[in-house]
Amino acid sequence: MHDLNADLHSHSTVSDGTWTPQQLAERAKANGVALWALTDHDELAGQAEAAAAARELKLDYLAGVEISVTFADQTVHVVGLGIDPDDDALRAGLAHTRGSRNRRAKAIGEALAAVGIDGAYDGAGALADNPDMVTRTHFARWMVKTSVCRDLHDVFRNYLTRGKPGHVPEQWASLRNAVAWIVGAGGMAVIAHPARYKYSATEEWALFQQFKAEGGRGVEVLTASHSAADVSRYADTAREFDLLASRGSDFHAPGESRIELGALPPLPRGLTPVWSELQDRILRA
Ligand code: AMP
Ligand code: MN
Ligand code: MN
Ligand code: MN
């Protein structure tokens, strides 16, 4: 159970991945994943295809989502696992969260035009399969494609993050609402890739404290963006806050993602995996 090859964080063309749910399911199976979750940003439109593909491939599946949240002036991602994708309150909350994306994408396009980069809004839009989900990833891919930058990292570092010319701040869902939507839909809320946030120690403590108080249960200890030091640090956080530990590659696209589906190491000893408490939410192959 502890060493199950679970990959509980991945993205399809429904958000900012480049593979369809079907293609992801096939790759997960080929890579030896035993339990998979598709967790598109703020969108459930890939869930039916993912579940059907997983069933066909005899791959256990958890319905998932990654919700964009604003906490203490920064964006935090909260993954929901084992949710009911047909839950009305969750669907309405996500629709509202997605609602500001088009306006924001236009603003990013205008901000980039102001520094001499024209056509970004149309360019990013053309790369997005889902017109409601134009993300910074699509802008970044377009800026690499048009040779403005060398790679995605370069784009984020120089254009799309705080203090940079193409950065447009956004107010996403509240932590309270995101956790309530997930829990209300029968799922488990998990803090995604905690090492990526730039919080002070006090702010980070407040994040985990409030997350627990609202009903959050898990933290991603293993994810592609975590160094070995990050893994041991957030293993400690899991113990300190009595959180279950999750494992997910955050796979977006071949050649872009640092880690393949199912290629993460096992969870550190002594942690309880999230899947130990999601057994009745797993869609068994
Ligand atoms: P958005 O929700 O539109 O703000 O876009 C956020 C997405 O951008 C994340 O889910 C990542 O896929 C991607 N992203 C953020 N920072 C980076 C980075 N430094 N390098 C590559 N991708 C990133
Ligand atoms: Mn993403
Ligand atoms: Mn994320
Ligand atoms: Mn993600």
Average pLDDT over residues 164-186: 98
State whether the beta carbon of 156 lies less than 6 angstroms from ligand 1.
yes
State whether the beta carbon of 10 lies less than 6 angstroms from ligand 1.
no
Per-residue pLDDT band for 257 (boundaries 50, 70, 90) equals: confident
Atom of ligand 1 nearest to the CA of 68: 2
State whether the beta carbon of 153 lies less than 6 angstroms from ligand 1.
yes
Mean pLDDT of the chain: 97
- Give the pair of three-digit tokens for residue 231: 């893994």
Indicate which residue's Cα is closest to atom 14 of ligand 1: 137
Q: CB neighbours (10 Å) of residue 82?
A: 24
pLDDT tens digits, one per residue of 193-208 = 999 999 999 999 999 9
State whether the beta carbon of 252 lies less than 6 angstroms from ligand 1.
yes
In this structure, what are the phi and psi dihedrals at residue 16, rounded to the nearest 5 degrees? Answer: -115, 25
Atom of ligand 1 nearest to the CA of 161: 16
Atom of ligand 1 nearest to the CA of 77: 10
Among 135, 138, 155, 168, which residue has the most ligand 1 atoms within 8 Å of its CB, making it the best to mutate? Answer: 135
State whether the beta carbon of 135 lies less than 6 angstroms from ligand 1.
yes
Within 13 Å of residue 123, how many CA atoms lie on the same side as its CB? 21
Letter string b/e over residues 103-133, b meaning 16 or more CB atoms within 10 A of that residue's CB? ebbebbbebbeeeebeebbebbbebbebeeb
pLDDT tens digits, one per residue of 4-36 = 999 999 999 999 999 999 999 999 999 999 999
Residue 136 vs residues 17, 139, 173, 246, 263: alpha-carbon distances, Å: 12, 5, 17, 25, 25
Residue 274 has pLDDT above 90, yes or no: yes
pLDDT tens digits, one per residue of 221-248 = 999 999 999 999 999 999 999 999 999 9
Q: Give 73 Cα–ligand 3 centroid separation in angstroms.
A: 16
- Give the pair of three-digit tokens for residue 236: 């400690």
